[in-house]
Amino acid sequence: MSSLRQIAFYGKGGIGKSTTSQNTLAALAEMGQKILIVGCDPKADSTRLILHAKAQDTILSLAASAGSVEDLELEDVMKVGYKDIRCVESGGPEPGVGCAGRGVITSINFLEENGAYEDIDYVSYDVLGDVVCGGFAMPIRENKAQEIYIVMSGEMMAMYAANNISKGILKYANSGGVRLGGLICNERQTDKELELAEALAKKLGTQLIYFVPRDNVVQHAELRRMTVLEYAPESKQADHYRNLATKVHNNGGKGIIPTPISMDELEDMLMEHGIMKPVDESIVGKTAAELAAS
């Protein structure tokens, strides 16, 4: 149990976090590592490529059907998929009702109490990263995840989310053992993307663990609910995920306490790379007619 690595993938919604994490974990499983995935995203899509399923039944939905979490057994909530990867989804309430983060808390407690973490090398939490609220911050706050990997791109809002997640890590780093393992750039083919990812990593005091190039084989595999490693194991993209997995595997104990930046510093960084132009404050709030008259 002492060698258990507890990692978490955070990132802005729609950034490709679940796809990146499942392909990386599939590659770790290929390397002989025993993996448990704990999905902490209300979409419950953190395990679909491993299980070839649309969405796994969640702990919360199963608990509602059974009566309570206490009425569940581990085999009720855990499914085994590609390369014997064990999969669990915490789930969340209906949109607009209750706190999805509470599902994360309930689920992790249930898994710990029922021995889910025994005889495995990695527990991986796949977490929604737009909102670092109390529940979604649970893997960070409760010292469950020791290494956080942030999936981002060269888009401003993805970098903004990465910076916000870093603030969450910083908040709990001193009270627990959580550290930022690094950034993973999932290429969107935006201008100067690699440069920006490296620049943000430097500002945060961390490393760019890997730059994952964009390739349509990822979408082809997803349509079949498969990882690239299973769908096209000989492809270049599969090798990229293997390289990423190796980097993560060799990164144990090398995480850092991040140094988040302000919104102004983020905008300055974009301006330095020619992505944003400085705002002329004299024109802010003026209509087209007022500007034409001046």
Q: Which of 17, 144, 203, 247 is labelled catalytic? A: 17
- Residues whose CB is less than 8 angstroms from the CB of residue 12 and which lie 6 or more positions away in sequence, other chains included: 129, 130, 152, 157, 158, 160, 161, 162
Model confidence at 1, in pLDDT bands (50, 70, 90)?
very low
Query: Distance (Å, rounded) from C-alpha 37 to C-alpha 125?
Result: 6
- Indicate the number of domains in the chain: 1
Among 12-21, 162-171, 197-206, name the most confident range.
197-206
Q: Which of 34, 43, 171, 192 is labelled catalytic? A: 43
Which of the pair, 136 or 275, is modelled with greater confidence? 275
Residue 108: pLDDT over 50: yes
> For 138-176, what is each residue's pLDDT tens digit?
777 777 888 999 999 999 999 999 999 999 899 889 888
Q: Please check whether residue 122 is in contact with residue 34, taking contact to mean a CB–CB distance below 8 angstroms.
A: yes
Query: Distance (Å, rounded) from C-alpha 188 to C-alpha 217?
Result: 15
- Extract the annotated binding site for ATP: 11-18
Q: Is 121 in a helix, a strand, or coil? A: coil
130 is catalytic: yes
Residue 42: pLDDT over 80: no
Read off φ and ψ for residue 33, nearest 5 degrees.
-80, 140
Instruction: Tell me which residue range forms the domain holding 238.
Output: 5-293
Which of the pair, 278 or 53, is modelled with greater confidence? 53
Query: Distance (Å, rounded) from C-alpha 23 to C-alpha 102?
Result: 27
Q: Which of 57, 76, 121, 130 is labelled catalytic? A: 130
Query: Distance (Å, rounded) from C-alpha 144 to C-alpha 176?
Result: 9
What's the whole-number mean pLDDT along residues 177-194? 95
Compute the mean pLDDT over every residue in the chain, rounded to the nearest whole number.
90
43 is catalytic: yes
CATH number at residue 215: 3.40.50.300
Helices 17-30/236-249 angle, 10° precision: 80
> For 221-243, what is each residue's pLDDT tens digit?
999 999 999 999 999 999 999 99
239 is catalytic: no
Tell me, yes or no, if the pTM score tops 0.95.
Answer: no
Query: Distance (Å, rounded) from C-alpha 56 to C-alpha 87?
Result: 8
Q: What percent of the chain has pLDDT over 90?
A: 64
Least-confidence region, from 119-133, 149-163, 177-191: 119-133
- Extract the annotated binding site for [4Fe-4S] cluster: 99, 133
- Extract the annotated binding site: 11-18, 99, 133
Cα 163 to chain centroid distance, Å, stands at 13
> For 79-96, what is each residue's pLDDT tens digit?
999 999 999 998 766 666
Q: Could you tell me the two tokens for 228?
A: 């690239």
Region of residue 56 (phi > 0: left; psi between -120 and 50: alpha; otherwise: beta): beta
